[in-house]
Amino acid sequence: EALVTIPSYDPSSNTITFCMLTYDDINHESGHFYMDEVAEDIGIGDWPNYDEIGTDEYEMKRLIAEGTARYFEREMDGKCPYMDLQIFAGLQEIKSLDAYSFYNLGYNVVYPILHGRVRRGVEYLLRNPPTPENAADLKAYQEKAIQELK
């Protein structure tokens, strides 16, 4: 019986692991790699920090990490244009999303922050990740980021 694994990036060893390789996988995992490299370059260290797994703060950082990876994936293949953010009741509702919806939400949060300024946008996201309190109004977080990057 075959064991199927999800492609993943390990920041502690700077390795990407793939199973059934596709161009989307390469682009997506390259986004994780890029975000980790920028984090290390600006002194934050490995991104994400797996010591935080299980915390609400980690979930919000995971949201932007997966959103950034999805941004790289979509910028390379031209799929799924940006859509305006929907309203969530808070972090618990976001945490209840299936993986596909979670990644797409992350993409919709980071797209206008990254578009046209990827490096600066990634630096901003790394230094100012959304907090659990931002979960109920991700649009406000996004608008603040865009304003501060102008």
Q: Evaluate whether 85 touches 126 at the Cβ level (below 8 Å).
A: no
Q: Say which DSSP state 20 is in.
A: S
Of 26 and 60, the structure prediction assigns the larger pLDDT to 60
- For the entire predicted model, the pTM comes to 0.83
Query: What is the Cα Rg of the chain in Å?
Result: 15
pLDDT of residue 33: 96
Length of the chain: 150
Question: Chain-centre distance of CA 26, in angstroms?
Answer: 15
**For the chain, the helix, strand and coil percentages under 3-state DSSP, each to the nearest 5:** 60, 5, 35
Tens of pLDDT, residue by residue over 100-146, are 899 999 999 999 999 999 999 999 999 999 999 999 999 999 999 99
